[in-house]
Amino acid sequence: MTEVHTPDGGNVVTTRIDGPVTVATINRPAKANALSNAVIDALDALADAVEQAAATGDTRVLVITGAGEKAFSAGADISNLVGLSASGARQQMLRGQRVFDRIAALPVAVIAAVNGVAFGGGLELAMACDMRVAAPHARLGQPEITLANIPGWGGTQRLPRLVGRGVASEMILTGSPIDAQRALAIGLVNAVAEDCVTAALQLAGVIATRSRHAIKAAKAAIRAGLRGGIEYGLQVEAAAVAELCQTAEQHEAVRAFLDRKAARA
């Protein structure tokens, strides 16, 4: 297992690589892993590195978590928002949205190991991931309305798509956090586990055995349908199946399946 840093030259986000699985850790435990401008820059650099590794098949799954046991991320670093003009605030939001959208669009599976509080931008980052595994003590919420504002890094869009309009409206309009068990019940997280990082890595291990081309295609088809509607999504799905049917990986997998079936006959 190799320890490396994201290419920003700092250590606000560190990564370790274990075969086809990369684990990225937001490394500001003293600040509850708040998402400062430097962290957003590091996540952008992380997306660059993962895209490059995915192109060669070196990475198939990315796991994102927070340092320590208290916080995945408590959200945006408020000190970076003080005194912003309307134009500055808009640009700050667009930058965060762009980086989180890059993470959502990565050609690898992305799993958030929510090891503690995930508030505001922290929850928005987790929702940009494909799946979420939470620790039992985790709390999740969009508290921006308590500061007379609203989520700005995708929360008003991704949360309703995950849990439905009613529950999302409740969370956004009250600002009240929910615990891990309610998050599981409403589908905001996939699982709750005492050691959420280990559980996320186990899930990553299963996915990492799958075809990298199929992982990329499945993500693209899901994303296309959510963004462009079911008819467009179906077209993307059909085109992806047609393309995958021409790959050596798919041919080998089908042959292996038929051989196993013949052996059992």
What CA–CA distance (Å, rounded) separates 219 from 211?
12
Higher-confidence residue of 241 and 2: namely: 241
Q: Per-residue DSSP letters for 242-263?
A: HHHTTSHHHHHHHHHHHHHHHH
Q: Which of 144, 194, 231, 243 is catalytic?
A: 144
Concerning whether 237 is annotated as a catalytic residue, the answer is no
Q: The domain containing residue 63 runs over which residues?
A: 2-207
221 and 134 in a single domain? The answer is no
198 and 230 in a single domain? The answer is no
244 and 191 in a single domain? The answer is no
Higher-confidence residue of 102 and 84: namely: 102
Question: What per-residue confidence (pLDDT) applies to 10?
Answer: 63
Q: Which of 3, 124, 249, 252 is catalytic?
A: 124
46 and 146 in a single domain? The answer is yes
Question: What per-residue confidence (pLDDT) applies to 9?
Answer: 47
Question: What per-residue confidence (pLDDT) applies to 6?
Answer: 53
Per-residue pLDDT reduced to its tens digit, 150-171? 999 999 999 999 999 999 999 9
Per-residue pLDDT reduced to its tens digit, 235-255? 999 999 999 999 998 999 989
Check which CATH number belongs to the domain holding 224 and give it. Answer: 1.10.12
129 and 167 in a single domain? The answer is yes
Identify the residue whose tokens are 């494909």: 130
CB burial class (10 A; 0-12, 13-18, 19+) of residue 265? exposed
217 and 203 in a single domain? The answer is no
Give the total number of structural domains in the chain: 2
- State if pTM tops 0.75: yes
49 and 20 in a single domain? The answer is yes
